[in-house]
């Protein structure tokens, strides 16, 4: 092989020198994007269907130049984007990123390896195993979740919290089916499934409801207290009632950092009940899990040694870009047994001694995601990640002080991490009137477009939630955000 195939079509789409030139443009573009992002409007001025009008009706038959493609980035794409990295972005939970993470994804894409079994990419499998242990130790998870520990526990990188919840529910479902069948062989699987009940709270992320739909398991939504917390006593009562009714309680999804209000279910109580009742206890800490890297926040997860599986998204608040969702299980056999199917073409000689992550997940092939954890953990370091979390918390505390100093507003839930929930009040208003007032305030802020935040509801009360801690957020940006909120409120 002389490596010279200049007479042929370029195997990688374009010539290497064109790639080098384009990649340099792209890196500059990304650096400038972040440098100038404060000049962009966070939420775009586009209407649904806008893209059709900007593009030709069909794909080109012959190659276009890099210049043509590059120049369309701004005009076709950027101007219709919601800028998640914008300092005006206070919506949802953040999707923090970093240059080390981007570098890792460049390599991942550049070598383009697909991974499902150990043999399909040995380094990718083993780096994932080591990274999941690094990460488990960095956030203070108990030893039972560590691959290098003494038990059958370990971690896997899923694409999303939604997949983690579904995998946990499927594993619990299959475990329950096996247990019931071992008690009584004459039972039919779908009758067992029809008797199963999973529990979560009103504040649990909707991915739990979807997991229930996919797994055909009924999900009972339990009430939360005024403080947004699901308590053990409420769970226990529901479990006992279901048992009396001949149902099979088999899964609880506890939230550490609920999506509407960032509250923390009582893991100590819930975990204890799940242990007593032999119920799978899954923890969804999609956002808040990242904060556990700071020892001072570990109290939010008190009782975690009792749970069966635990998940958080480094792609939210740990400077690793989407997608990267870390999931740990106490007993990996539960996951594997629920999803193991072994066709001949996937057999390999190490299959009994090595981890095949395909049994732990829904897709077969997936990218080399552990590279970005490795790069970020090394180039930012645990201390760097801690400072980033603490910075976001300080921004939230600052906003909390500003809001508390204005009696027209009320803070609704404790501000523990980077989320501030508040409502605009008016003396003498009924709940519905106050709700509609807050909805109008939200609409005004949204239409103004200087900042982006969302409206949420718990126990029938509407409120506005502001999430700090995004990549380019700062105290100065929080001040601007507060000024916009006040200005819009005054116009009501």
Q: Return the range that interacts with ligand PLP (CB under 6 A); candidates 127-135, 212-220, 255-263, 296-304.
A: 255-263
* Binding test (CB under 6 A) with ligand PLP, winner from 98, 162, 263, 309: 162
Q: Which of 98, 120, 160, 471 binds ligand PLP (CB under 6 A)?
A: 160
Torsional class of 330: left (φ above 0), alpha (ψ -120 to 50), beta (otherwise): alpha
Stretch that binds ligand PLP, among 147-155, 157-165, 176-184, 298-306 (CB under 6 A): 157-165
CA-closest candidate to residue 129, choices 294, 356, 365, 290: 356
- What residues form DSSP beta bridges with 222? 201
Per rule CB under 6 A, is residue 471 in the interface with ligand PLP?
no
Residue 96 region by backbone torsions, left for phi larger than 0, else alpha for psi between -120 and 50, else beta: beta
Q: How far is the CB of 424 from ligand PLP (least distance, A)?
A: 25
- The window from 26-34, 159-167, 410-418, 440-448 that contacts ligand PLP (CB under 6 A) reads 159-167
User: Which position among 104, 207, 293, 456 is part of the footprint of ligand PLP (CB under 6 A)?
Assistant: 207
- Taking CB under 6 A as the criterion, the residue among 180, 265, 269, 284 binding ligand PLP is 284
Q: Rounded to the nearest 5°, which phi and psi values hold at 156?
A: -145, 150
CB of 170 to ligand PLP, least distance (A): 15
- Rounded to a whole number of angstroms, the CA Rg of the chain reads 25
List C-alpha distances in Å: 30 to 35, 318, 410.
Answer: 9, 20, 39
Indicate the length of the chain as a whole number.
492
How far apart CA 210 and CA 213 sit, in angstroms, is 5
Tell me how far CA of residue 230 lies from CA of 182, 215, 260, 266, 282, in angstroms: 33, 23, 14, 6, 14
Handedness of CA 363, 125, 329, 141 (dihedral sign): negative
By CB under 6 A, which span of 174-182, 254-262, 354-362, 365-373 interacts with ligand PLP? 254-262
DSSP string for residues in 279-293: -EEEEE-TTGGGGGG
Q: Name which of 162 and 370 has its Cβ closer to ligand PLP.
A: 162
Q: Is position 330 an interface residue for ligand PLP (rule: CB under 6 A)?
A: no
Q: Is 373 an interacting residue with respect to ligand PLP (CB under 6 A)? A: no
**Measured from the CB atom, is 232 or 257 closer to ligand PLP?**
257
Least distance from ligand PLP to the Cβ atom of residue 214, Å: 13
- Select 259 or 308, whichever has its Cβ closest to ligand PLP: 259
Nearest to 128 by CA among 72, 136, 412, 73: 136
Give the one residue of 117, 200, 255, 388 binding ligand PLP; rule: CB under 6 A: 255
- Residues numbered 298 to 327 that lie near ligand PLP (CB under 6 A) are 313, 325
* DSSP code, position 135: H
Q: Is 265 in the site for ligand PLP (CB under 6 A)?
A: no
Q: Which stretch binds ligand PLP (CB under 6 A): 19-27, 73-81, 156-164, 357-365?
A: 156-164
CB of 210 within 8 A of CB of 167? no
Q: Cβ of residue 290: shortest distance to ligand PLP, in angstroms? A: 11
SS3 307: coil
The Cα–Cα gap between 55 and 287 comes to 36
CB of 282 within 8 A of CB of 251? yes
Q: Does 91 bind ligand PLP (CB under 6 A)?
A: no
- Residue choice 89, 93, 118, 328 for contact with ligand PLP (CB under 6 A): 93
How far apart are CB 315 and ligand PLP at their closest, in Å?
A: 7
286 forms part of the interface with ligand PLP (CB under 6 A): yes
Which part of the chain contacts ligand PLP (CB under 6 A), choosing from 96-104, 155-163, 330-338, 397-405?
155-163
* Peptide bond between residue 154 and the one before it cis (omega within 30 degrees of 0): no
Give min distance, CB of 286 to ligand PLP, in A.
Answer: 3
Q: Which stretch binds ligand PLP (CB under 6 A): 35-43, 110-118, 253-261, 450-458?
A: 253-261
Q: How near is the Cβ of 135 to ligand PLP at its closest, in Å? A: 16
**Using the 8-state DSSP alphabet, how is residue 358 labeled?**
G
Question: How many other β-carbons are positioned within 10 Å of the β-carbon of residue 53?
Answer: 6
Query: How many DSSP H helices and E strands does the chain contain?
Result: 16, 11
The binding site for ligand PLP (CB under 6 A) comprises 93, 160-162, 205, 207, 255, 257, 259, 284, 286-287, 313, 325
């Amino acid at each position: 092989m002389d490596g010279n195939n200049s007479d042929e079509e370029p195997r990688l789409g374009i010539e290497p020198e064109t790639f080098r030139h384009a990649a340099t443009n792209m890196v500059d573009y990304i650096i400038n994007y972040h440098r100038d992002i404060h000049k962009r409007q966070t939420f775009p001025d586009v209407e649904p269907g806008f893209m059709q009008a900007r593009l030709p009706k069909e794909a080109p038959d012959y190659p276009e130049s890099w210049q043509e493609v590059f120049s369309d980035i701004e005009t076709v794409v950027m101007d219709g984007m919601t800028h998640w990295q914008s300092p005006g972005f206070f919506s949802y939970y953040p999707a923090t990123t970093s240059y080390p993470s981007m570098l890792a994804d460049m390599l991942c894409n550049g070598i383009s390896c697909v991974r499902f079994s150990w043999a399909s990419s040995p380094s990718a499998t083993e780096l994932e195993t080591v990274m999941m242990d690094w990460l488990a130790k960095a956030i203070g998870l108990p030893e039972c979740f560590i691959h290098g520990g003494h038990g059958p526990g370990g971690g896997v990188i899923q694409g999303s919290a939604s997949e983690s919840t579904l995998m946990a529910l499927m594993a619990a479902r299959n475990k329950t089916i096996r247990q019931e069948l071992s008690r009584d062989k004459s039972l039919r699987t779908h009758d067992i499934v029809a008797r199963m009940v999973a529990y979560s709270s009103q504040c649990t992320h909707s991915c739990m409801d979807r997991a229930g739909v996919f797994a055909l398991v009924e999900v009972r939504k339990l009430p939360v207290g005024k403080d947004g917390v699901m308590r053990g006593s409420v769970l226990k009562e529901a479990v006992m009632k279901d048992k009396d009714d001949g149902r099979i309680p088999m899964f609880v999804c506890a939230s550490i950092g609920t999506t509407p209000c960032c509250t923390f279910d009582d893991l100590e109580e819930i975990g204890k009940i799940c242990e007593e009742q032999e119920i799978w206890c899954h923890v969804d800490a999609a956002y808040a899990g990242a904060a556990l890297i700071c020892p001072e926040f570990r109290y939010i997860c008190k009782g975690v040694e009792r749970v069966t599986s635990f998940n958080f998204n480094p792609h939210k608040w740990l400077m690793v870009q989407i997608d990267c969702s870390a999931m740990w299980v106490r007993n990996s056999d539960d996951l594997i047994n629920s999803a193991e199917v072994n066709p001949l073409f996937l057999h390999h000689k190490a299959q009994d001694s090595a981890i095949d992550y395909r049994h732990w997940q829904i897709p077969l092939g997936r990218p080399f995601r552990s590279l970005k954890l490795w790069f970020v953990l090394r180039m930012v370091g645990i201390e760097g990640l801690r400072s980033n979390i603490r910075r976001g918390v300080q921004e939230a505390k600052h906003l909390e002080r500003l809001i508390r100093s204005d009696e027209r507003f009320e803070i609704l839930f404790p501000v523990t991490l980077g989320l501030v929930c508040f409502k605009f009040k008016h003396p003498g208003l009924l709940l519905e009137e106050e709700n509609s007032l807050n909805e109008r305030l939200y609409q005004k802020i949204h239409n103004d477009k200087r900042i982006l935040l969302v409206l949420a509801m718990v126990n029938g009360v509407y409120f506005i939630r502001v999430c700090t801690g995004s990549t380019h957020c700062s105290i100065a940006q929080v001040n601007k955000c507060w000024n916009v909120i006040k200005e819009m409120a005054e116009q009501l």
